[in-house]
Amino acid sequence: MRSPAFVSDERREGGLTAVIEFLSAFTLFLMILTAFISLAQLQMGSNDPEVDRLDRAAAQGLDRLTSGEGWFVPMGADLDYANATDAWHTFDAEALQQGRVQAGLVSSYRLDMDRIAALHNVTEDGMAAGLGLADDMSLHLSVKVVESTNESREGTFLFSGGTERGTAPSSSTAYRSFQQDGELIRVVLEVHDGGRKFNQLHITEVMTRPSSNGPEWIEVHNPNDFAVALKGWSFNHTSGSSGSNVLLQEGVLSGGSLSLFTGDVSTQERRNATHVIDLGSAGFLGVGQLSGLADGQGVLRLRYTQLDEITPADMVRVEWGGNTGLFMVRGQSLVWDGVDTFDAASWSLEDAPTPGESSMA
């Protein structure tokens, strides 16, 4: 009969020691490898530092946007923290631009429609700063009715504005849905690595030969849902060998708004215009017998200069007289058809001008 096998204590201890030493060495190897990858910022699988950075920014930004009412700190000689308030949505675009705002869309655990509407008074840069995004990031924000007991509301965007995703090399998206009042509403925040910000304004109607000694005026539409700060924008007018320019230093045009730049604010017919801005004191637009824009032939340009550039880029060009066939009589205006911002064929004569009521808005 075979005797049972015995394993000495020495052999057991030797084997256990070998296993422990192997695991220790392997753990040390992994620690060294992880430290090397972190220092070199190498990508392994989904561990892309830049993507992680965008993911965090999108998640944290959405949390700030949808977790409370937000806040606004007005600006006096300095930031007036003593008068900070969560009623940021009661301030106009000019005030919000001068102070500091973090837009919040939720009140009493529900999306607040007044606060969503007030997003039109916030610039994209102001929104990004309030959400804590880095200077090299841009964003796109949308608030959409996904489902509704009212079929006509389904698919409606309550707000949609900012930098488009296709203009940036990488992006991250975060969203949150709210079920209220028979509707499913989704808030989507996209954060981009850079990207070309949506910075457009359109001239929609121009009056160069006003009747009854009225002022000259230029109607401008902001097609974006975010507000646009006027700093960096300018008007240029040429007629023959003469010309004039005005650089806009302040002011904000709220999202989706129509604005009138006029030679005389006190006599300007405004109708539904949200903003009326004086260019008479700058000598660019005239009133009565004082003419700023040429009656017979001229070119009006709306330009924008990027903050890191010195040469302005033409955004809109309006031309009349000459070979355009657009010869205005007193009381007629030029109206844009919404197609091409540079083509004279996109403009026509209007016998009944409508300042503040453009069909483009």
Predicted confidence at residue 306, as pLDDT, reads 77
For residue 106, pLDDT beyond 70 = yes
Predicted confidence at residue 328, as pLDDT, reads 95
Residue-wise pLDDT tens digits, 138-156: 999 999 999 999 999 999 9
Predicted confidence at residue 195, as pLDDT, reads 80
Predicted confidence at residue 13, as pLDDT, reads 64
Residue-wise pLDDT tens digits, 53-81: 999 999 999 999 999 999 999 988 888 99
Higher per-residue pLDDT: 107 or 13: 107
Read off the pLDDT band of 360 (50, 70, 90): low
For residue 112, pLDDT beyond 60 = yes
Distance CA 315, CA 222 (A): 13
Average pLDDT over residues 11-23: 70
At 285, is the secondary structure helix, strand, or coil? coil
Average pLDDT over residues 125-131: 95
Residue-wise pLDDT tens digits, 171-224: 999 999 999 999 999 999 999 998 877 779 999 999 999 998 999 999 999 999
Higher per-residue pLDDT: 165 or 350: 350
For residue 5, pLDDT beyond 60 = no
Average pLDDT over residues 69-97: 94
Predicted confidence at residue 157, as pLDDT, reads 98
Domains and CATH numbers, the chain: 50-193 (no CATH), 202-350 (2.60.40)
Predicted confidence at residue 47, as pLDDT, reads 53
Predicted confidence at residue 35, as pLDDT, reads 72
Predicted confidence at residue 25, as pLDDT, reads 81
Residue-wise pLDDT tens digits, 32-48: 877 776 665 555 445 55
Predicted confidence at residue 59, as pLDDT, reads 96
Average pLDDT over residues 106-121: 97
Residue-wise pLDDT tens digits, 285-306: 999 989 999 999 999 999 998 7
Predicted confidence at residue 50, as pLDDT, reads 65
Average pLDDT over residues 6-12: 57
% of the chain beyond a pLDDT of 90: 75
Read off the pLDDT band of 11 (50, 70, 90): low
Predicted confidence at residue 338, as pLDDT, reads 94
Q: Let me know: does 117 contact 227? Beta carbons within 8 Å.
A: no
Average pLDDT in the chain: 90
